[in-house]
């Protein structure tokens, strides 16, 4: 891709960028899956033709599913969800018929490194947290909660597991929630940031909080 004029992103080595404005072309590579986007159909075809000269490439058309991400296109904009991925998590945990909750965690819940007996199978906790972290790409509403739970991967306790299954119950009621990028939006990047003085009950350090928007869409 560098030989074809692309520059590799320093922060994500799977991401390649070429050109500016109407000629901007972005290419994302994950093993043998490739996603190409550009404001110019001609630029996309040029990249496809170049790749066809090097490899046997199968063109799947407009992106609808990519690495667990479901993309729905319309004149109003683009919706990105992970509905199937979320349903798989709910099914694997055995909560398909369970009740859903309305909040990612119970109000006022405080977790620490000493919250009860150790889990007999800590690997199941680590695997579930890993899946929830991937799911949080399109779910900033419980991103903070999952990051808090991921701090206990070394010594997860029963209460940590209960809190994580509570997140899955919340997910059960919101499995179709995702990110909506309006076609007429201003795609400027906006960041709001604050800190809560000495709020961590474990270290008495300050907790930083932030919310990042692309246009009107919160992405992190």
Q: What is the pLDDT of residues 103-116, one digit of tens each?
A: 988 887 777 776 67
pLDDT in tens, 134-183: 999 899 898 889 988 998 888 898 889 999 999 999 999 999 999 999 98
How many Å apart are CA 137 and CA 10, to the nearest integer? Answer: 20
Which helix (H) or strand (E) segment holds residue 122: the answer is: helix 122-135
Q: From CA 174, how far away is CA 142, in angstroms rounded? A: 11
Q: Which is it for the CA torsion 89, 178, 137, 157, positive or negative? A: negative
pLDDT for the residue 87: 95
pTM summary value: 0.80
pLDDT of residue 64: 92
pLDDT in tens, 180-211: 999 887 878 999 999 888 777 667 788 788 89
pLDDT for the residue numbered 21: 80
pLDDT at 115: 62
CA dihedral over 99, 101, 102, 107, signed as positive or negative = positive
Least confident of 10-24, 32-46, 55-69, 114-128: 114-128
Distances (CA, A) of 12 to 9, 48, 220: 5, 22, 17
Query: What is the side-by-side order of every strand in the sheet holding 15-18?
Result: 7-8, 15-18, 25-30, 33-38
């Amino acid at each position: 891709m560098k030989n074809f004029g692309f520059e590799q992103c320093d922060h994500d080595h799977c991401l390649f960028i070429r050109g500016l404005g109407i000629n901007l072309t972005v290419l994302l590579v994950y093993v043998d899956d490739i996603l190409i986007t550009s404001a110019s159909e001609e630029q996309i075809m040029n990249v496809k033709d170049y790749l066809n000269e090097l490899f046997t490439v199968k063109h799947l058309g407009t992106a609808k599913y990519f690495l667990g991400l479901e993309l729905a296109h319309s004149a109003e904009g683009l919706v990105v969800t992970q509905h199937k991925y979320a349903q798989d998590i709910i099914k694997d945990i055995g909560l398909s018929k369970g009740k859903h909750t309305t909040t990612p965690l119970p109000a006022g819940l405080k977790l620490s490194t000493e919250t009860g007996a150790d889990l007999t199978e800590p690997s199941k906790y680590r695997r579930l947290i890993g899946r929830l972290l991937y799911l949080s790409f399109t779910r900033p509403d419980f991103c903070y909660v999952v990051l808090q739970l991921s701090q206990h991967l070394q010594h997860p306790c029963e209460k940590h597991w209960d809190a994580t299954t509570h997140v899955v119950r919340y997910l059960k009621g919101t499995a179709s929630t995702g990110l909506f990028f309006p076609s007429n939006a201003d795609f400027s990047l906006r960041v709001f940031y604050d800190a809560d003085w000495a709020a961590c009950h474990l270290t008495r350090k300050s907790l930083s909080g932030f919310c990042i928007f692309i246009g009107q869409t919160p992405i992190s």
